[in-house]
Structure 1
Amino acid sequence: MPQLSYKTFGEGEPLIILHGLFGSLDNWITLAKKFADNYKVYIVDQRNHGLSFHDDAWDYDLMAEDLCEFMSTEQLDKAHLIGHSMGGKTVMNFAVKYPEKVDKLIVADIGPKYYPVHHTTIIKALYSIDVNALSSRNEADEQMQKLISEFGVRQFLLKNLQRDGDSFRWKMNLDVIAKNIEEVGKALNQNATYAQPTLFIRGGKSDYIQDGDFNTIHSIFPKSKIETIAGAGHWLHAEKPAEFFQLVTEFLANE
């Protein structure tokens, strides 16, 4: 199987970070460098994202196996794991399947429940851009504005645009993501359990983890605690990096 694209920073106990849907390891470089003061940090592109391999098959079972293979290749018996959104679902699935390979688990703004598809506008906006005819990123941004008004969201998505000679192309595998978008919302097996320390961090302005989800979280992750970063939305690590860093650092430092 092809190796996942990754970067490392620092030395010490291994800490692996997985990005969310439409993201890449680049989203985590700033925080990875901060964590690298105390850990050997691996930021990884999941399949069909960033510079990792493209494949027609794409679901959480496969992404958990990709992570297992990655750890084996890097000769890591055990690691701390951080996953945001889709990456959070990946690390949850991985922890349930391979608890012996996980030191501490951190899940950023996603729960183990089912989420209905809510990325239709984003996918439509991405397809509205004719990458073969683009002359600049600004042109792509202008085209996307018709469907996505939030500047920050457009900038996040346009990080996937890569210059390829005289034209542009998407780094991510947009066709496979669009075709299998239902997979992203799939719930964890509700009978699953992971009995080791787990930290869920939610954004105070995000609706991904609601108070009504706490019972489900605690039933699958009995040693979990749930923290809220006030004023942060779904991209809480980008919006409130200092608060996110502090919560994770304290959790990892506690025996």
Structure 2
Amino acid sequence: MTRTVALHHQLGGPEQGVPLVVLHGLFGSADNWRSHARQWQAQRRVVVVDLRNHGRSPHAATMNYAVMAEDVVALLDQLGIERCDLLGHSMGGKVALSVARLYPQRLASLIVADIAPVAYDHGHETIFGAMRQVERDAPESRKQADSAMAAHVETPAIRRFLATNLERGDDGIMRWRVGLDEIEAAYADIAAEPAGEGSYSGPTLVVRGSRSDYVEDALLPQVKAVLPAAQVVTLEAGHWLHAEAPKAFHEAVDTFLAERGHEEN
């Protein structure tokens, strides 16, 4: 019995060259990356993925990073992609790190957005509380869902981000499309270190937010131990740096990919 699930994905752009594959973070989806994908697709093939229990991908009980890395490699096989530039944000960054450690031959380069290859001890209790409140309230509009979340999450931007996971059922009730039960049950695996051992020595970009506590200076030695070739770029942003500083984020990625392409030629 296979451990992988067939990941939903969005694909576009010219087929020549090395494809860019994008992995979202916890409670994100491929939809959150549409504006970035449109820009990259002008130059290259871009695959934006819904990881398991997210977006339009299937739900599954297991969420350790070895299995999620297998999902991604299975998708690469399905699409006939031998090597790719792999970009991952937050949880997706840990999935990307796991692919780099377990299947380094599948990567031309690695881009990790605001996550370090370590276990984190801070949780998402308020997020789970907000989402469970929506389930209990059974809202019939996004405004009602936002009011339900506001009792647990003060920041409107975070509530708007979570609301991208809402969809209306045939009965008019707004419900979560993410596998919330599976995510909450597997949260210890999500907070854990990436899968695999040792380092990935290929070309790597680590982009971090200056107002984020996910890749603080104290963690840089651990980043360098796992990613010895990493360039580290700091943007004036928080954890959702691709949304908070989209132009600067895009420029950092484009510069890195252009330099890597130049070195290969």
Alignment partner of 1:160 is 2:165: yes
Shift of the 42–190 alpha-carbon distance from structure 1 to 2, 3 Å rule, reads closer
Q: CA deviation at 1:132?
A: 7.3
Say yes or no: does 1:228 pair with 2:231.
Answer: no
- Identify the range of structure 1 (233-242 vs 5-14) with the bigger mean alpha-carbon deviation: 5-14
Q: Write the letter of the residue equivalent to 1:90.
A: V
Which blocks of at least 5 consecutive residues in structure 2 are unaligned?
Answer: none
1:16 to 2:21 alignment: yes
- The alignment status of 1:68 with 2:73, answered yes or no, reads yes
Within a 5 Å distance, the mapping from 1:149-188 to structure 2 comes to: 149-166=154-171, 167-188=173-194
Q: How does 1:41-120 map to 2 (within 5 A)?
A: 41-120=46-125
User: TM-score, structure 2 length as denominator?
Assistant: 0.93
Distance 1:160 1:152, change over 3 A: same
Secondary structure (helix, strand or coil) at the match of 2:45 reads: strand
**Bigger shift: residues 46-55 or 167-176:** 167-176
Unaligned runs of 5+ in 1: none
Question: For the aligned residues, what is the CA RMSD?
Answer: 1.4
State whether residues 131 and 169 of structure 1, in contact with CA within 8 Å, keep that contact through their aligned partners in structure 2: no
The equivalent position to 1:214 in structure 2, one of 198, 217, 220, is: 220
Name the amino acid aligned to 1:73. Answer: Q
Shift of 1:130: 2.9
**C-alpha distance in 1 between matches for 2:5 and 2:124:** 28
Q: Deviations over 1:3-30 (max 9, x none)?
A: 2111112113210000000110011000
- 1:52 match: secondary structure: coil
Q: Which moved more, 1:190-199 or 1:209-218?
A: 190-199
Alpha carbons 1:107, 1:200 under 8 Å: kept = yes
Alignment partner of 1:129: what SS? Answer: helix
What is the distance in 2 between the residues matched to 1:133 and 1:42?
A: 34
Asked if the contact 1:131–1:168 (Cα under 8 Å) also holds between the matched residues in 2, the reply is no
Q: Between Structure 1 and Structure 2, how many residues are aligned?
A: 254
